[in-house]
Structure 1
C-alpha cells in the first residue's frame, strides 16, 4: 500500500502540477516537492514565447483557489526520470478525503490520460481508477463544465513584457487598486505579479514594494544551465519564506505608485490584503528596512512604515540586532523667537533665557544662486544688487513667515565644522502646526538633502519633506520650474546725493511707505529696502540723535550706544515698518520718521533714554511736541542717558505736583458734557465740539466775519512756524477757517482746523496770518478718545471698518459724554446716545467693544477709578471674541493694545 504524507501546497504551476512544502526547519526554509497528478492532464500554460492552450489558465485558477496554502495528504506513485528535471506523479487528497484529480475532472478542467499503470498499482486497480475518471469526464462533457463548455472562449489575453511605455501604463492605472496574483517571490520585497486589468486582459510585471527593501535572496528561477553563486543576505531566505506563506499565489489588490529607479520597466507599489499590510509586517519583524527613494510614493503615507520599523529597532529584531539608537542631544527641544533670517535655509533665534542660536533647517538646502548674481558693492561702478534665482524669494518667505514669531525648535542633528564651514545645529522649526522646511519645499524654494541609507542624521519629518519636494516637482514650482529663473534688481538709492534726490520725490509722494529693515548701524541709522520702489537706502531718524557705536572692538562706543543698537535691532531688524521721508542729507542718506507697529521709533528711543532731541531738526518736524515730551519723560524717570542726571528743585516740585494730580484722577469723575463729533482720526480717536449755545453763536458770527475779512485779501504771507495759529482756506469749500500749523516742509504746510479737528496740507498761498479780532474765541474742537478702549489706526487692519461703525453710532447726533480724565489736553470720554440710555451698559464705548470694533485697555492710568465699567467692557470683549465678531472674525487677534 502506498505511503501517505502530509504537506502544504505552496503553489500551483498548472492545472495538474503543484509544489508542496514540508514542515519548517530550524536552519532554514522547509523542503519543497513538485508533484503532478497521475492519470489526468490539464491544458498547458504558455510563456513569453508560446501561447496558452485553451482553458489552461482556467484550469490553473481552479486548482490554485482549491489548494494554495492548504494542508493536504499526498500519495507519491511513480517518477519519470527520462525528462529533465525528473517529475513525480501521485494523488492529492483534501482534508475531507476528496481526491483532487477526481474533482478537477468532474469540474471539466482535467482530461483523463490513458495508458498503462506506471506505479506499483496492479492493472485491475489502475483500470478501475481510469473508469471512475472516465465517468466523471463524461458527466463534465454532458453538463459542459470547464473546458467542455463550447459557449465560452477558453483563451486569455496576457502580456509577459511591457508592450507600451511603462510611464504611460502607470499614468493610466496609478493609485487604482487592481486585482492581482503574486506569481513569484524573488525576495521579500520584490515580486513577479500577474495583473488582471479592468478589461480582463492580463499583464505580468515586476513589482517592488514601495518604501521598503528586504535582504536579497539567491535566485532560484534561473535556466537550468545557469546558477546564482551570489549568497543570500542574512535573513533574506527567512523573509522570503515569511512572504511566501502569506502571499504567494494569493489573490490581492495591487496599487501602482511609481517606476523603479533607473527608469526601467519595473514598478513600485503597495499590496492590499485582508489579512494585513505585508510591508508593515516585514518591517515590524525586522525583515526589511525603510528606503527613502520610494517611501514617499506609499499609498497612505510613510508614517505607518516608519512606526513599524521603529518597533523592530527598539526590540533589535533580526537585521536590527546590532542597532544602537542615536543619543538624544542635550537641550534638543525648546521654544524661541526668530530674530534674523540669514539665508534661505538658516535663521537665528533667541531662547527664553536670552541666548541666541543659529539654526540650519534640517535635511534641506537653499536654492542655488543663479549665474549673474551680484552682491552690494560687487561692481566698481555701482552698489546696485542683481539677484538671480530663488534665494531672494526663499529669504523673503522666511522673513514674512517667521521674523518676530515664537517657534518650536527640535534639534535633529549637529553638523561638525568642516571644509572651512562652521559647525551647525540642524533643526526642524515649526510655527503652530506648520513645518517651515516643508513649506519651503512645497513652494520649490529649497531642495531636500539625499541622506545615505545608514545616515540617521536627518530631520525627524524627513518623509514629509520628500513628499513636499515631490509635490513641487510635479507642479513645476520654484527651482523645478521649466521657466527662466526670476531676477531681482535692487537699486541703491543712497549711493550718492544726486542719486538720492532722484528718488526723493517719488518716496515723498505717499506720506508713508512700507519698508523692510535690512540692517541697523546704530540707534538712529538704519538701512531699508522699499519694495514698492525696489530700492535700498540709508535712513536716518529725524529730530533725534542716538549715541554712536564703535565700528570694531578697539573703537569705543558712546554711553548707551550698544543698548540703543540692541533695542532697535530687536524691534525692527527684518520687520515690516512704515517710513515718512522728509529729505536727504549730503551723503545720500534719507531723513524721516519710522513707525513699527504704529509707534514712532524716535519717540520710543527718547522714552527709553537711548537718544536725545536734535533741537534744530526736531522743530521742523510735526512730531516736535512728542519728541520733547518723550525726552522730558526719560529725564524725569532717569532712563538711559539720563540715569545720572541732576534735576533742579523746580523740576522735582513740578513732578510732585503732577503726581498729586494723577492721584486725584484716580477718583471717579462725574463731569457730563453735551457734544457732537466734528472729525474722526480712528474708531476711538476723534475731535468733538462741546455744545455751548453762547459759544456756538459766537463761532457762527466769527465764521461769517472771517469769510468777509479774507474774501478779497491777498497779502503775501510770511512762512509760518510750527504752532502758529493762522487763517487757512479749506480745499473742499474754499472757505476760511482758523487753523494751527502742525508742520512746515517742502511739500507744504500741514494745518489742524482748531474749531473742527480735521487737518490737511496746504500751499503757502492758502495761508494768511490770523487777525487779532478772531483770536478771542477759544478753539471749539477738542481732541478726545474713548475711555478704556482702543480701535486700530485708520490704515491698520480693520481700521476703516471700526471708523465706519463709530460713524454709524455718532454721525449727526447730539451726544452726552462723561469726562473720565484729561490726558495731556486730550479728553478721555465715555460717550452715550441720550436717545438710547446714559447707563454704562449702553455707552458707545461698550457698543464698539461688543461689535468687535475695539479692544479694552484696562491699563490706562485712570482705569482704577472705574472698576465696574472695566468689568462690563471686558465681558463685552470676551463675548465678541467667542462669537468672532468684527476684528475677531478669524479667531483671537495677536495684536495688543500697543499695536493699535
Structure 2
C-alpha cells in the first residue's frame, strides 16, 4: 500500500480536485501538488467561455467548506501524464478518518467513475461496489445533484462589464457575502460576490487604503516579485483563500473595485500593515469605512519595529521647538501665517500639506492698476484669508511643526505646521470649505501633516458638496474700492460713512501709531484712517529714513493690538490727502486713549478739543505724564508749568480767537447764567437725548452701588460724579479747585457750579465718559457789560434771563474766543435778522455796551453799526447803564 502523507488543503478547484500545500520552506513558499479524487467525478465548473454544468458549484462548495485550510491525510494512487498540467489521483482522508470521496458520493455531490484498477484488483472492485451503494442511497434520497427540486444552476457573471460606479452606489456600505477565489498579491484579490438577490458576480478587489508589494504573474514571465511580495501573498492565502468573508465596497478604480474584507478573525488590511507586508496609500485611504486611523496606527507599529517593507525606515527626529503654543498675529496668504511665540519670536509658518486656492483669471493686487488703487480679486483666496483671519488672529494656537521646506526655485525656506485652536485643525476646516486643496505627496515622502488623512477626508467632503474651488459655479469676484484714493473721492464717502455712530472695520495695515489702513466690509471699501486728537511719532518709510523717537514702539504697539482685528470706528472728517479722521475702538477701548496712556503719542489740541472724547484723551495723557511713560520719560512738571504761565502772560493782551470762516447756525438753550453777556448753552442735537439716558443710567448705577464705592478724593481737572445739593441727583462734573474736604466743581453738562464736600464725590466710570460735555461756555458777540453784583450787573442778568429763559434759541457762531463761543442770539419767533437779535435787544435796553474792538469784528460792520445805533437810542432815553451818565467811554470799568 502507498505511504500516507499529510498536507493542508490550499484551495478547491472543483468538487473532485484540490491543491495541497506542504510545509513552509526557509527560502520560499511551500511546495504544492494538485490531487484529484480517485474513482469519482464532479460536474465541471464554468468560466467566461462556458457555463457551469448542473450542480458543479454546489459540488465545489461542499468540498471547499469541508477541506479548505484544514490538514488532511492523502494517499497518491496514480498519475496521468497525458494531461496538462499533469494530474495526480488519490485518496484524501479527513482528520476524523473519513474518506472524502465516500462523503461526497454519500451527499450526492459526486458520481462514481468506473476506472481501471491501479493496484489490488479485489480491493479496487470492493471500493467501487461500496461507492455504487452510496450513490444509490443518495439517488434514492434525492441528495445533491440527484435533487428534483432544483436544476443545480446559478446566475453568475465571470467578468464585470457594467457601470462600476452605479454598481458601487447600489451596494456601497452593505456587507456582501463573498469568497476569496484568488490572491494576486497581498492586497489584490479575485472575489466571488453573492448579492442579495442570490446572483453572483466575480470582481477584482483592491484593499482600501493599502498597497502590498507586487508578485510575479504566471501570465507575464518577465515580471518579478518585489521584496516581501511572495511572503505577503502566502500570509493572506493561509488566512483568506477560499474563505467565506464579508466585503464592503468603498470605491472604484476603473472597472475594479476598492473595498475592505471583514473576517471573523479581524481586518486583513490592518493585519498586513501591522506585520509590515503593506503600506498605506493616500489615494484610497480616505474611503475606508470608519476612517483611516486604525490603518495608520497599524502601519506605525510596523514602522516602529522596522518590519519587512519598513526595514530601512528612519523616523524623523523631534526637535525641542517642534511643538509649542503661539499667538497668531498676521495672515499672510490663504495658507501662510505669522505666529508669535511666548518668548516673543515671530515665525512664518505654512499650513502643512495644503495650498491656497489658485488665483482666478483677472485678479489684480492692490495698486495693480495705474489708473486706480481699487482692488479686484477673482477666486477664493480672499475668502481663505478672511476665514483664517477670523479664526486665528489674536488667538493662541497649538503649533506642531510637521516638516521643513527648503528654499528652492526662488521661494524662501518655510516651516510647515499643523495649527489647532482647541481640537480644531484650521487647515482641515479650510479644506472642508473648499478654500484650499491638499498637496499630493510622493508615496514614500514622510514630510506631510500628521493629520494628512483628515485633510484628505475634508477634501473629499468638499468635492462631494461642490464647495469652493470644487464648485461648478463661476468663481466669486471681490471688488474693493479705495475710498482714500484722493480728497474728492473721500468726501463722496464721508457723507454716508458719518451717518451711523460707529462702523465695523478691519485693520488691514498699520503705517505708524496713528495712521492705519482699514477695510469696511459693509461698504466694501478700503481707506486710510488717522486717529483724531493725537499725533504719534513718525516711522521711517525706508530703512535709511530715520524714525522719530518711540515711532517704532508706537507702530509695534498698534500692530499687536489691532492688525487684522475687527474694530469699530467713528468718522469725523477727512484731510486734504483723502484720509479719514476719527476714533477707533478695539474691544471697546479707544486706541488713541491707549496710545496716550502708554506715552506713545501726544495730544493734538485742535482735534482733541473738537472730539467727544476730550476728557478721556487729556486724562490719558495726564496719567502718562504722571507715570513718566514713553515720551514723558524725562518730563519736568514744574518746568512745564513755568512755560505755560509765561505763555499765558505773553498772550494776556492778545486773547486766543478763532474766527469762523462761515457763519454756523445752531439750535440751543441757555442752561446757566454767569452775567448779562456770559452764560452756558446746550446745543440741541442727538447728544442731548443721549444725555437724558446717560443721567438715568448714572443715577441707577449709584443707586445699585448703595455707597459701596465710598467717597472719592479728587484732583484738579478730574471728571467725577457729583451729587447736586438742590435735588440730590448725580451729575457729571469737573473739579476746579480742592481745599481740604471742599471741592469746587463745574457741572459739565449744564454749566452751573457749586462747592461740595468730598462725601458727595464719586469716581465716574469710563462708560459715562464717552459722551462729550454738553454745556459750552458762550458770550454775546460784539458787546460787553458789567459782571454780576456790579452796578447794573444784576439788572443786565435779569434782562438776559427774560429774553432767553425757557426758550429754544437760534445762535450764530461768530468766533471762538479762549474756548468760548461768541454768539449772536435770536428768538425763532422773530425773523433771523440783525434787527431781531437778542444782542441788539440787550444794547437797546441799555443793559450792555457795544464792543467794536473785538478781533473778530472784521466783516461784521453792518451788525456793529446796528448795535451802535441801538446804543445811541438807549443813551438818548437814559436807559439802564445810561441812567446817570455815559459809561460807553473807553475807560468804562468793564
Query: Who is 1:758 aligned against?
Result: 693
Q: Find the aligned partners of 1:818 and 1:599 in 2 and give their Cα distance.
A: 26
- For the 8 Å contact 2:434–2:469, the answer to whether it is kept is yes
Query: Who is 2:771 aligned against?
Result: none
- Residue in structure 2 matching 1:583, options 566, 573, 582: 573
1:246 aligns with 2:239: yes
1:527 aligns with 2:417: no
SS at 1:269's partner residue? strand
* Mapping of residues 492-571 of structure 1, within 5 Å: 492-571=482-561
Query: Who is 1:319 aligned against?
Result: 309
Q: Find the aligned partners of 2:31 and 2:424 in 1 and give their Cα distance.
A: 54
Deviation of residue 328 (structure 1)?
Answer: 2.0
Query: Who is 2:47 aligned against?
Result: 47
Query: Who is 1:65 aligned against?
Result: 65
Query: Who is 1:209 aligned against?
Result: 207
List per-residue Cα deviations over 1:214-269 (Å, max 9, x = no partner): 1111113x3xxxx5222211111111100000000000011111112xxx201111
1:574 aligns with 2:509: no
The TM-score, its normalising length taken from structure 2, stands at 0.75
Deviation of residue 758 (structure 1)?
Answer: 2.3
List per-residue Cα deviations over 1:602-652 (Å, max 9, x = no partner): 111111111111111111111111111111111111111111010129989
SS at 1:783's partner residue? helix
Deviation of residue 718 (structure 1)?
Answer: 5.7
Query: Who is 1:820 aligned against?
Result: 710
Pick the structure with greater CA Rg: 2
- For the 8 Å contact 2:251–2:259, the answer to whether it is kept is yes
- For the 8 Å contact 1:739–1:753, the answer to whether it is kept is no
Do the aligned partners of residues 419 and 726 (structure 1) sit closer, same or farther apart at CA in structure 2, a change above 3 Å counting?
farther
1:173 aligns with 2:171: yes
1:783 aligns with 2:688: no
- Residue in structure 1 matching 2:384, options 394, 406, 411: 394
Do the aligned partners of residues 739 and 183 (structure 1) sit closer, same or farther apart at CA in structure 2, a change above 3 Å counting?
farther
Query: Who is 1:332 aligned against?
Result: 322
Please list every run of 5 or more consecutive structure 2 residues that lacks an aligned counterpart in the other structure. 643-662, 674-678, 724-757, 759-894
Do the aligned partners of residues 650 and 189 (structure 1) sit closer, same or farther apart at CA in structure 2, a change above 3 Å counting?
closer
SS at 2:687's partner residue? strand
- Residue in structure 1 matching 2:151, options 146, 150, 153: 153
Query: Who is 1:600 aligned against?
Result: 590
SS at 1:341's partner residue? strand
Deviation of residue 475 (structure 1)?
Answer: 0.9
SS at 1:3's partner residue? coil
Q: Find the aligned partners of 1:29 and 1:153 in 2 and give their Cα distance.
A: 41
Query: Who is 1:481 aligned against?
Result: 471
List per-residue Cα deviations over 1:408-453 (Å, max 9, x = no partner): 0011111111111111010011000001111111001001111111
List per-residue Cα deviations over 1:646-674 (Å, max 9, x = no partner): 0129989xxxxxxxxxxxxxxxxxxxxxx
Q: Find the aligned partners of 1:726 and 1:383 in 2 and give their Cα distance.
A: 52
Q: Find the aligned partners of 2:706 and 2:321 in 1 and give their Cα distance.
A: 60
Deviation of residue 320 (structure 1)?
Answer: 1.6
SS at 2:637's partner residue? coil
Q: Find the aligned partners of 2:484 and 2:466 in 1 and give their Cα distance.
A: 38
- For the 8 Å contact 2:273–2:299, the answer to whether it is kept is yes
SS at 1:758's partner residue? helix
Q: Find the aligned partners of 1:476 and 1:726 in 2 and give their Cα distance.
A: 69
Deviation of residue 175 (structure 1)?
Answer: 1.7
Q: Find the aligned partners of 1:724 and 1:369 in 2 and give their Cα distance.
A: 63
List per-residue Cα deviations over 1:191-228 (Å, max 9, x = no partner): 000011111111101111111111111113x3xxxx52
SS at 1:383's partner residue? coil
* Mapping of residues 633-782 of structure 1, within 5 Å: 633-648=623-638, 719=666, 725=671, 741=682, 749-752=685-688, 757-758=692-693
1:357 aligns with 2:347: yes
- For the 8 Å contact 1:820–1:828, the answer to whether it is kept is no
- Residue in structure 2 matching 1:615, options 594, 605, 612: 605
Q: Find the aligned partners of 2:379 and 2:699 in 1 and give their Cα distance.
A: 52
Query: Who is 1:270 aligned against?
Result: 260
Do the aligned partners of residues 610 and 785 (structure 1) sit closer, same or farther apart at CA in structure 2, a change above 3 Å counting?
farther
RMSD over aligned Cα, in angstroms? 2.4
Do the aligned partners of residues 819 and 334 (structure 1) sit closer, same or farther apart at CA in structure 2, a change above 3 Å counting?
closer
The TM-score, its normalising length taken from structure 1, stands at 0.75
Do the aligned partners of residues 125 and 489 (structure 1) sit closer, same or farther apart at CA in structure 2, a change above 3 Å counting?
same
- For the 8 Å contact 1:515–1:577, the answer to whether it is kept is yes
Deviation of residue 751 (structure 1)?
Answer: 3.3
- For the 8 Å contact 1:782–1:826, the answer to whether it is kept is no
- For the 8 Å contact 2:180–2:190, the answer to whether it is kept is yes
Query: Who is 2:431 aligned against?
Result: 441
Q: Find the aligned partners of 1:638 and 1:97 in 2 and give their Cα distance.
A: 104
SS at 1:155's partner residue? coil
Query: Who is 1:139 aligned against?
Result: 137
- For the 8 Å contact 2:193–2:203, the answer to whether it is kept is yes
Q: Find the aligned partners of 2:493 and 2:139 in 1 and give their Cα distance.
A: 99
Query: Who is 1:21 aligned against?
Result: 21
Q: Find the aligned partners of 2:70 and 2:706 in 1 and give their Cα distance.
A: 94
Query: Who is 1:775 aligned against?
Result: none
Query: Who is 2:442 aligned against?
Result: 452
Do the aligned partners of residues 78 and 784 (structure 1) sit closer, same or farther apart at CA in structure 2, a change above 3 Å counting?
same
Q: Find the aligned partners of 2:475 and 2:439 in 1 and give their Cα distance.
A: 21
- Residue in structure 1 matching 2:359, options 366, 369, 375: 369
- For the 8 Å contact 1:819–1:828, the answer to whether it is kept is no
List per-residue Cα deviations over 1:815-845 (Å, max 9, x = no partner): 966553448555599xxxxxxxxxxxxxxxx
Do the aligned partners of residues 717 and 419 (structure 1) sit closer, same or farther apart at CA in structure 2, a change above 3 Å counting?
closer
Q: Find the aligned partners of 2:48 and 2:672 in 1 and give their Cα distance.
A: 103
Deviation of residue 75 (structure 1)?
Answer: 0.8
- For the 8 Å contact 1:78–1:88, the answer to whether it is kept is yes
Do the aligned partners of residues 821 and 201 (structure 1) sit closer, same or farther apart at CA in structure 2, a change above 3 Å counting?
farther
Please list every run of 5 or more consecutive structure 1 residues that lacks an aligned counterpart in the other structure. 653-715, 728-737, 760-779, 788-808, 830-861, 863-900
- For the 8 Å contact 1:740–1:753, the answer to whether it is kept is no
Deviation of residue 82 (structure 1)?
Answer: 1.5
Deviation of residue 106 (structure 1)?
Answer: 0.7
1:466 aligns with 2:456: yes
Q: Find the aligned partners of 1:740 and 1:407 in 2 and give their Cα distance.
A: 54
Query: Who is 1:237 aligned against?
Result: 230
